[in-house]
Structure 1
C-alpha cells in the first residue's frame, strides 16, 4: 500500500518550491509568482511539515535549499508535467481541445487522401489547427493509444477492441517492377514464377508490408528481400532504380515514377487493404472527431461517385 501523502503537500506549493529553486531567493520567487514573500516562505515551511524533514537552512538572512529540497524539486517537476499532460488529455477526451486536432497518416496517403480530408474538415471547422504525424500502421496505432494522436488514417487494425474505425476505401495491391525489366510488359503476374527474383519492401509494421507477406505466403515461398525502407516513396525509387520488385497499393498510381510499372496480379494473389479513419472508442463523442468523421464520410462518398 502506498504511503499517504500529507495534506500539507499540494500542487500549488510544489509550484512555489520550483519557482524558489529557479529564482534563488524568496523575493524573486514572490515577484515571479505575483504573491508576497511571506506567502512563499509559508509555503516552503509547509512543505517541510508535510515531508517531515528539513528542506532549507539559513545562511545569514538567506534561505538555502538542501539536497533534500533538490530531490523534492526534481520529483515535483516531473509530477507537475505529468499532471499537466493528464489534464490536457482529459480535456481532449471531453472535447474541449476545440482549436487543435492531431491526425496520423501512412506516407502513401499524403498524395491525395489526407489533403482532401483536411480541406473537408476545415470547411466544417475553419479555425481548427491540424497537426499531421506520419508513420507505419503499428507506430500510428501505438501513438493513438498513448494519447499522442486524436485519430489516424491507416489500414484498419485487426482485433483492436479499443478502437473504432470508419472505412474510407479498399485498395488493391499491384506488382511493381522496373520499367526495363522482363516483367514490364506482362498482362498479369504469377508470383509463383517469381521465386528467383530480387525484391524490396517496407519494414515491418506497415500494412503494405503485411499484404506483401500475405501474397507470397499464398505463392508458397519467402521472397528474396535485398533491401527494406520506412517510406513508400523511397520504396518506389528503389524499384525504379532496378534494385528489385515489390508490391504496391493502387492509390499511389498517380505518383509512381516513369521508371516503375504497376502490373496486376493473378486473382489468387490479389490482396486488398482497407483504409480507414481510426480513433479510440472512448473518444467517439469528441466534437473534433465528429467533424473529422463527417469529412471522411464526404470524401468516401466522393470516391464512390468517381468510381461509379
Structure 2
C-alpha cells in the first residue's frame, strides 16, 4: 500500500508532541508553532491516514484508540529516522564526537600541541585521535577517508581540487650537523664542499626527503647516503652520533641540543609550507571549521617569525 505523501515526519513530530502534552497551546509553545499550525498538522494527518484519530469534546481533542496505536509506530519511525541521520553523519565524520587528525612527526614539539589545545578550547567535548606519518601516508589516509584532516609540508600550492588548504607557516631547509663538526659556526653552507661526506635521510614519502633531493639536484650531484630511516627522531640521533649529515627544516632544531642547523647558500634555498588539508566536501563540518579557524590564528601568530613554532 502506497503511503500518502501528506504523512510527513514533521506532522508525526507534532502528533507525538500532542499525544504527550494533550494541550494545543503547550504543543504550540514547545514546537515554536502557532496553535493554528498545530491543529492543521493534526487534521491533515487524519485525512492522510483516512482514519479518525481524535474526537471533539467542546474545544478539546480527545485521542481515540487509533491515535494510541498510531503513536506507537510513529515514535518508532521518528526515533529510527533520528538514529539513521546520526549514524550517517557519524559515518561521514560530520560533527562527530571524535576528530581523526594526521600530522608529520616533526610538528609534534610545538605546532600540533598548540593546535590541539586551541581546538579543545573551542570544542571541549571533542576527542582527538592523532596519527603520525609521512606526507605520502597521511595524504593517502585522507583520500581514503581514514583521516578527517592532516597537517603536512607542501612545496608550492595545493594542486588537489578535492582538498581545501589552510597555510600555517613556511620553514626553510638547513644543513644538520653534529655539534662540534668541522662546519660549526659557518654562516652559510656550500653543498659542493660535501661531495665526499656521508649523509643520512628519511625514507621516500616524507616532505623533508623531497627537499633533500631537490637541494642536491640544485648542487648537481648525488649525495652518498649511508642510511635511510622512517622517523625524524632516529634521524636526529644518527646525525648527533656522527653517522652522517642531513638536510632538515628549521623546526627540528629544538628537538635536540646535540645537532646544529646551518643555513644553506641562497642558490640551494628550499622551503616547506606547513599546511592543513581537509576534504572539500566536508569543509562546512563544524569540527573542521573549528580546526581551520585555529590554523588560521596560528598562521597569523607565526607571521613575521622564523617558522619554528
- Please classify the TM superposition score into its range, dividing by the shorter chain length: 0.5 to 0.7
**Could you tell me whether the CA contact under 8 Å between 1:198 and 1:225 is conserved in 2?**
yes
Is contact 2:118–2:294 with CA below 8 Å preserved after alignment? yes
Report SS of the residue matched to 2:289.
helix
* 1:273 aligned residue: 272
The corresponding residue for 2:254 is: 254
1:134-173 per-residue CA deviation (whole Å, 9 max, x = no partner) reads: 0000000000011110000001375322211110000000
Please state whether the residue corresponding to 1:227 is helix, strand or coil: strand
Deviation at 1:98, TM superposition (A): 3.1
Deviation at 1:115, TM superposition (A): 0.4
Paired residues of 2:95 and 2:285 also in contact (CA < 8 A): no
Instruction: State the partner residue of 1:26.
Output: none
Partners of 1:89 and 1:147 within 8 A in 2: no
Q: Which residue of the partner structure matches residue 107 of structure 1? A: 105
Correspondence for 1:144 = 142
Q: Distance in 2 between matches of 1:89 and 1:209?
A: 40
User: What is the CA distance between 1:128 and its match in structure 2?
Assistant: 0.2
Partner of 1:70 in structure 2? Answer: none
The 1:186/1:307 distance shift into structure 2, 3 A limit, reads closer
- RMSD after superposition: 2.2
Q: What aligned pairs does 1:1-308 form with structure 2 within 5 A after superposition? A: 90-92=88-90, 96-156=94-154, 158-255=158-255, 257-304=256-303
Give the aligned partner of residue 16 of structure 2.
Answer: none
Q: Does the 8 Å CA contact 2:178/2:258 hold for their aligned counterparts?
A: yes
In the TM superposition, structure 1's runs of 4+ consecutive aligned residues that sit over 4 Å from their partners are: 87-90, 92-95, 305-308
Task: Give the C-alpha shift of residue 259 in structure 1.
Answer: 2.3
Number of equivalenced pairs: 222
Which stretch shifts more, 107-116 or 294-303? Answer: 294-303
Q: Verify the 8 A CA contact 1:95 1:285 in the aligned structure 2.
A: no
Query: Are residues 259 and 92 of structure 1, via their aligned partners in 2, closer, same or farther at CA, if it must alter by over 3 Å?
Result: same
Alignment partner of 1:188: what SS? coil
- 1:97 CA drift (Å): 3.7
Task: Write the distance in 2 (CA, Å) between the matches of 1:149 and 1:200.
Answer: 30
Kept in 2, the 8 Å contact 1:162–1:281? The answer is: yes
Q: Distance in 1 between matches of 2:203 and 2:175?
A: 17
What's the CA shift for 1:282?
Answer: 1.2
Question: Which stretches in structure 1 are left out of the alignment for 5+ residues?
Answer: 1-86
Render the CA deviation track for 1:200-250: whole Å, top value 9, x for unaligned. 000000000000000000000110111011111111111000000001101
* Structure 2 unaligned blocks of 5 or more: 1-84
**In structure 2, distance between residues paired with 1:160 and 1:113:** 24
Task: Go from structure 1 to structure 2 and tell me whether the alpha carbon gap of 1:224 and 1:90 turns closer, same or farther (over 3 Å shift).
Answer: farther
1-structure distance, mates of 2:266, 2:170: 16
